[in-house]
Structure 1
């Protein structure tokens, strides 16, 4: 992966952990995020220079412009990782229309626009790796997760369709589906000890995961070693989906 040109959408949590791992193996890194403070924090925590850009990934025009700019800056892109997501934990009967649409825009719309923008460069070059961050919620029916679960299940099937469309063009698309990981997305929920204990009790390994445990699988899917793998969802969940 030394010298690989990598674009990561998401400057915190899983995205930052993966950026750190890619930088460690010598990749050139670009990071997109809608939050300038997260971008600054990511820049300060990485030991290598990276390209940072504030982008609203739910706006197709912004995504296309930003991806084109990174392509020009790096002379191409080898890997794109979408690690952006939000959750609004509410019973289905209490969800407001704007809440439903907000989760869809951040979690699903942005993944499509990013993959499309990257694919328009990768397909003509007949080379590229696109990796999306899904969730065990794409398979499990967690209460109070209706929009989040819908977006992650939709993400998986969208990825499969794109993977089939581009399989003969040298571009692979895969997803990782983390289980219960301690990130900024879950930190508020896990502050309550009863929530932490309940989630931990559902994991056969008996513990929660950390973002660094996702970086190895992401590096593998980004590497030449995964060249015959496309359209797959890799569950990284301590056995959660076994029960």
Structure 2
């Protein structure tokens, strides 16, 4: 029998649709929600990677989905409901991180970053809302960034998109609170993952990034798990419209 504390994080039988499931930051989160009893449905723009991850979890539904494709997202929601009969939440871990001087950044790269990080987050949330309302409520969780608050040179596209995401979370939370849908985000500091590995291969970039974090280290994908389980589980029922920064103090600087 679960203790009162364990019950706050219990996800038994809950169905979560996950976008960007092949991303480095999503993988420990998927493992954590499965350990708490959830049933994941995995989507990603990389079909080979998402199938490989789905194979780790018995009976996990997975398919290729671009988060910027509204019709594909609606199909993902429908297929999830066809398989499981309901959806209890969505986790959006899809994202791009272009770092480039603003004067020389290709406008197409800027637009694509905003399209994935902000427009995609909106489309994902919108696609899930009717299913969550039908279920009597649910959870939406987005991966934001400390870049929604702090300003780093060369991050114009990324920071702009993540700042927009943080504010959109507040707006959606306000709209859907009467339907018992919570909408929140987690804002990690720079985290070691495939998304950042090319940048972190530069010793100077790595050293500056570590120096910016008062706790003196980069983030690990596992660092967000505790906050995510709180927001996704019964313990997060009255938390909405928030971005929780899991950042080693980065936003204090």
SS at match of 1:14: coil
1:144-173 per-residue CA deviation (whole Å, 9 max, x = no partner) reads 111111110000111111100011111100
Q: Please name the residue that 1:111 is paired with.
A: 121
Q: Specify every segment of 5 or more residues in structure 1 that has no aligned partner in the other structure, as ranges.
A: none
**What CA distance in whole angstroms lies between the structure 1 residues aligned with 2:80 and 2:199?**
35
**What CA distance in whole angstroms lies between the structure 2 residues aligned with 1:118 and 1:24?**
23
Q: Please name the residue that 2:166 is paired with.
A: 156
**Aligned residue-pair number:** 242
Structure 1 position 54 matched with structure 2 position 59: no
Q: Please name the residue that 1:146 is paired with.
A: 156
Structure 1 position 132 matched with structure 2 position 167: no
Compute the RMSD of aligned alpha carbons: 1.2
Contact 2:89–2:132 under 8 Å retained in 1 = no
Alignment of 1:67-216 (within 5 A): 67-216=77-226
**Shift of residue 66 of structure 1?**
1.2
Q: Please name the residue that 1:25 is paired with.
A: 36
TM-score, normalised relative to structure 2: 0.92
SS at match of 1:58: coil
1:174-200 per-residue CA deviation (whole Å, 9 max, x = no partner) reads 000000210111111111222211111
**What CA distance in whole angstroms lies between the structure 2 residues aligned with 1:216 and 1:4?**
18
Alignment of 1:10-21 (within 5 A): 10=20, 11-21=22-32
**What CA distance in whole angstroms lies between the structure 2 residues aligned with 1:47 and 1:151?**
32
Q: Please name the residue that 1:7 is paired with.
A: 17
**What CA distance in whole angstroms lies between the structure 2 residues aligned with 1:200 and 1:190?**
10
TM-score, normalised relative to structure 1: 0.96
Q: Specify every segment of 5 or more residues in structure 2 that has no aligned partner in the other structure, as ranges.
A: 1-10
1:1-57 per-residue CA deviation (whole Å, 9 max, x = no partner) reads 12111111112211122111111122111111011122133124x344311110111
Structure 1 position 235 matched with structure 2 position 245: yes
SS at match of 1:208: coil
Contact 1:23–1:48 under 8 Å retained in 2 = no
Contact 2:88–2:135 under 8 Å retained in 1 = no
Contact 2:87–2:135 under 8 Å retained in 1 = no
Once superposed, which parts of structure 1, at least 4 consecutive aligned residues long, lie more than 6 Å away? none
Contact 2:42–2:54 under 8 Å retained in 1 = no
